[in-house]
Structure 1
Amino acid sequence: MKKYSKSFKALWIGEIVSELGSAAGGITNGLLLYEITGSKEWMGILWLVYFIPSLILQSVTAPFLNHVEKGKMIRNIQLIRSSAYLLPLIGFVIDKNIGTIIGLIALQFILGLMQPIYASLSFSLLPEVCEKKDLTEANGLLDGTIRLMSFLAPGITSLLLLAVHMQFIYMFSCIMFGISYISLCQMSSSSKQTVPVWTKKLWWGEMKEGYRTFFKYKYLLRLTFLSSTVQFAVGATTVLSIPFIRSDLNGESWEYGIFAGAFPIGYVIGMLLLKKIPKTYVTMHLGLIGGGLSFVFLFFVKSIPAAWMCELIGGVLFPLFNSQSAAIFQSQAPKERLAQLSAVRLLFLRVTMPIGIVFASTSFFDLSTRQAYGIVGLAIVLPGLFYLFFFKTINNILESE
């Protein structure tokens, strides 16, 4: 950590504590809503309230992100999210059932609007607070610790639930985002930005130019496509993992818990491994292909320990691709449009996740859980092999750094 700047450490701490608060709040959202309604349909509605406005906003707001002070904007977003976590608690005080549901919907709506803006800006801030040569490891550090928080959050939430009523977990989330705001205040701005007067003409022109620029950089487009296949798999596995362990392998709840925790633990190991291996075109794609094969192997496994091992190995390998591809995007995209292009990139990634959810949950394809895992894995492996052997542009970029 000594080689990283004070601003990067502030961003890193802000990301860690906010992810912990977000994960704890997300767990409580599902538990609380199911306790009130007992309905899977309401669970789906809650996620649609998060995703649909989020995707619509993200598709049209990319031009704005080139004309805001990034540090100030992400601090304000953390304050908004901190306040929003109080809404279910306020709703509970007003009315135990209806008030809580309204508070949950309002919370999800606000989080859905804020998340893509925050993610795009924090992604584009990283090259400003980190040396170019350290971008790959910095991305791995951020990604790995965030996933570690998502692993720790269920246990921390369970301990909190032993001490306080479920609704008061939202106070914990509120405090975590408040701490994140304080940490982000320690970041120093690298440049003073003059924000132009905003007009409709400017918005429309910037919108077209942003998408045109994104599609002009073919190697960045290819990396985004490959990252999208991973997000498609993430969406599908949110539906597949429980029935796979509980039904296909007849596992217990605690065995599913280990299965769910194996991937983030593996991801942390992969983050550490990333510091030791050469950062090349080949290792980046082998990480992607190996991670995809971990899903394919779930088609064949007959025992729960084998399933745990597949998830662990997938977690170890995927950072080799994710961190290097993110660093390439950050270093090769035009700096003056990085925030905007990051938003376009994130839009593609976030769209594919609900597509994966729909693919895994619909009965239209009439696939077993194992077959779905096999298809999801091949959707990562086949493009990865194709780009590994037929495109060398990214290899030249990596070698020149």
Structure 2
Amino acid sequence: MKKYSKSFRSLWIGEIVSEFGGVAGAIINGLLLYELTGSREWMGILWLVYFIPSLVLQGISSPLLNHVIKEKVLKNIQLIRAGAYLLPLAGLGIGTEKGSIIGLVILQCILGLLQPIFASLSFALLPEVCTEDELADANGLLDGTLRLMSFLAPGVTSLLLLQLPMHWIYGISAILFFISFLALSRIPQISTQMVATWTKKFWWSEMKEGYRNFFSYPQLLQLTILSSTVQFAVGATLVLSIPFIQGELGGETWEYGIFKGAFPIGYVMGMLLLTKLPKSPRTMYFGLIGGGFSFVLLYFVHSVPFAWLCELMGGILFPLFNAQSAAIFQREAPRDRLAQLSAVRLLFMRVSMPLGILFASLPFLTLNIRHVYFGIGSIIILPGVYYLIDSLQPRKRWSRINDKY
């Protein structure tokens, strides 16, 4: 950590504290809503309230992101989130079931609206707090520790629930987001605000320009599509994991817990491995192909321990692709458009996950679980092999479609 700037360390602390508080809060949201309603339908509505406004804003917010001071907006978002986590407590204070549910719904809506802006701006800020040579390692460190927090937070939350009333966790989440606000406040203002006259015509022209820019950079589009195939597979596994471990393999609940924990543990190991390996297209595409192969291997697995190893393998290999592809995107995208282009990139990736969920959930799909694993692994492997072979061909640096190589 010492090799990174103080600004990066502040961003890193702000993000990991935020991730822990968000995961803990999400667990309590589901538990509280189910306690109040006992309804699976309400659980679905709660996630739709988060997801639908989030995707809509993701698609139309890109013009705004080029005309804000990123450091200021990031810390203000955390302050708003900290306040939002007090809404369910206010609903519980009213003493009615309706008030509690309204508080939960408003919280989910606020979180859904803020998350795409926060993710896009933090991604765009990273090249400004790191050198170009540090970008791949910095992305790996940030991504790996965020996944570690998402792994640790459920266990810590479970231990807290043994000692504290459920609604107290909202207070803890609010405090963690406030700590994140304080950490992000230590980042000096690096970016500058572009003056813009916000009219409907300007917004529309800026949005078109952002998408046009995105599609005019072939490597940015290529890397985004490859990342989207991974997100598609991740979405499918959200549906498949429990039926595969407990149904197909006859595993116990604790065995499923280890299966779910193997990937984030492997991801941290992969993040450490990345620091020792050369940053090259070969390493990047090897990570993508190997990660896809970990899904294909599940087609052949007939014991739970081997399924654990497959998940661990995927966790180790995918960071080799994810961190390097993110670093290339951050380097190749024009700096004055990076926030806007990162929003478009994130939109592609976020849409891919629910498509994967839908694909794995289709009632008329005749493929069994093993075939689906083989299919989603192949979707990752085939383009990965193509681009690995293509990367071995001598060529000059990527540029825009209309530029000469």
TM range (shorter): over 0.9
- How far apart, in 2, do the equivalents of 1:85 and 1:238 lie? 26
Tell me what 1:206 maps to.
206
Three-state SS of the structure 2 residue aligned to 1:189 is: coil
Structure 1 residues 105 and 390: CA distance shift in structure 2, 3 A:
same
- How far apart, in 2, do the equivalents of 1:29 and 1:243 lie? 24
Structure 1 residues 79 and 282: CA distance shift in structure 2, 3 A:
same
Three-state SS of the structure 1 residue aligned to 2:66 is: helix
Matches within 5 A, 1:123-142: 123-142=123-142
Give the Å deviation of 1:250.
Answer: 1.5
Give the Å deviation of 1:395.
Answer: 7.7
Give the Å deviation of 1:83.
Answer: 1.1
Tell me what 2:39 maps to.
39
For residues 225-259 of structure 1, the C-alpha deviation after alignment (integer angstroms, 9 at most, x for no partner) is: 00001111111111111121121112111111111
- How far apart, in 1, do the equivalents of 2:394 and 2:210 lie? 22
Q: Indicate conservation of the 8 Å contact 1:235/1:356, yes or no.
A: yes
Give the Å deviation of 1:33.
Answer: 2.1
Structure 1 residues 175 and 41: CA distance shift in structure 2, 3 A:
same
Q: Indicate conservation of the 8 Å contact 1:65/1:340, yes or no.
A: yes
Q: Indicate conservation of the 8 Å contact 2:10/2:183, yes or no.
A: yes
Tell me what 2:403 maps to.
none
Tell me what 1:241 maps to.
241
Amino acid at match of 1:287: G
- How far apart, in 2, do the equivalents of 1:180 and 1:225 lie? 31
Tell me what 1:151 maps to.
151
Q: Indicate conservation of the 8 Å contact 1:226/1:380, yes or no.
A: yes
Question: What RMSD, in angstroms, separates the aligned Cα atoms of the two structures?
Answer: 1.6
Three-state SS of the structure 2 residue aligned to 1:166 is: coil
Q: How many residues align?
A: 398
Tell me what 2:258 maps to.
258
- Say if 2:74 is the partner of 1:74: yes
- How far apart, in 1, do the equivalents of 2:35 and 2:22 lie? 20
Tell me what 1:184 maps to.
184
Q: Indicate conservation of the 8 Å contact 1:219/1:394, yes or no.
A: no
For residues 258-297 of structure 1, the C-alpha deviation after alignment (integer angstroms, 9 at most, x for no partner) is: 1111000000000000010111111100100100111111
Amino acid at match of 1:294: S
- How far apart, in 2, do the equivalents of 1:397 and 1:273 lie? 27
Tell me what 1:171 maps to.
171
- Mark the runs of 5 or more structure 2 residues left unpaired by the alignment: 399-405
Deviates more, 1:184-193 or 1:211-220: 184-193
Amino acid at match of 1:318: F
Tell me what 1:389 maps to.
389
- How far apart, in 2, do the equivalents of 1:397 and 1:328 lie? 12
For residues 173-228 of structure 1, the C-alpha deviation after alignment (integer angstroms, 9 at most, x for no partner) is: 11110000000000012243343232222111111100000000011100000000
Matches within 5 A, 1:169-318: 169-318=169-318
- Mark the runs of 5 or more structure 1 residues left unpaired by the alignment: none
Tell me what 2:335 maps to.
335
Percent identical residues: 66
Three-state SS of the structure 1 residue aligned to 2:61 is: helix
Give the Å deviation of 1:366.
Answer: 3.1
- How far apart, in 1, do the equivalents of 2:69 and 2:394 lie? 31
Give the Å deviation of 1:60.
Answer: 0.8
Three-state SS of the structure 2 residue aligned to 1:139 is: helix
- How far apart, in 2, do the equivalents of 1:251 and 1:36 lie? 31
Amino acid at match of 1:278: P
Tell me what 1:103 maps to.
103
- How far apart, in 2, do the equivalents of 1:230 and 1:224 lie? 10
Tell me what 1:112 maps to.
112
Q: Indicate conservation of the 8 Å contact 2:294/2:313, yes or no.
A: yes
- How far apart, in 1, do the equivalents of 2:34 and 2:395 lie? 49
- How far apart, in 1, do the equivalents of 2:323 and 2:313 lie? 16
Give the Å deviation of 1:27.
Answer: 1.4
Structure 1 residues 368 and 31: CA distance shift in structure 2, 3 A:
farther
- How far apart, in 2, do the equivalents of 1:243 and 1:28 lie? 24
Q: Indicate conservation of the 8 Å contact 1:296/1:374, yes or no.
A: yes
- TM-score w.r.t. the length of structure 1 is 0.96
Three-state SS of the structure 2 residue aligned to 1:67 is: coil
For residues 119-165 of structure 1, the C-alpha deviation after alignment (integer angstroms, 9 at most, x for no partner) is: 00000000000011100000000000000000100111011101111
Give the Å deviation of 1:331.
Answer: 0.4
- How far apart, in 2, do the equivalents of 1:394 and 1:295 lie? 31
Q: Indicate conservation of the 8 Å contact 1:281/1:395, yes or no.
A: no
Tell me what 2:53 maps to.
53
Q: Indicate conservation of the 8 Å contact 1:267/1:318, yes or no.
A: yes
- How far apart, in 2, do the equivalents of 1:200 and 1:217 lie? 26
For residues 354-383 of structure 1, the C-alpha deviation after alignment (integer angstroms, 9 at most, x for no partner) is: 111111122121332222222111111112
Tell me what 1:363 maps to.
363
Amino acid at match of 1:290: G
- TM-score w.r.t. the length of structure 2 is 0.95
- How far apart, in 1, do the equivalents of 2:305 and 2:91 lie? 43
Give the Å deviation of 1:396.
Answer: 5.2
- Say if 2:19 is the partner of 1:22: no
For residues 336-355 of structure 1, the C-alpha deviation after alignment (integer angstroms, 9 at most, x for no partner) is: 10000000000000000111
- How far apart, in 2, do the equivalents of 1:196 and 1:160 lie? 48
Three-state SS of the structure 1 residue aligned to 2:277 is: coil
- How far apart, in 1, do the equivalents of 2:122 and 2:219 lie? 22
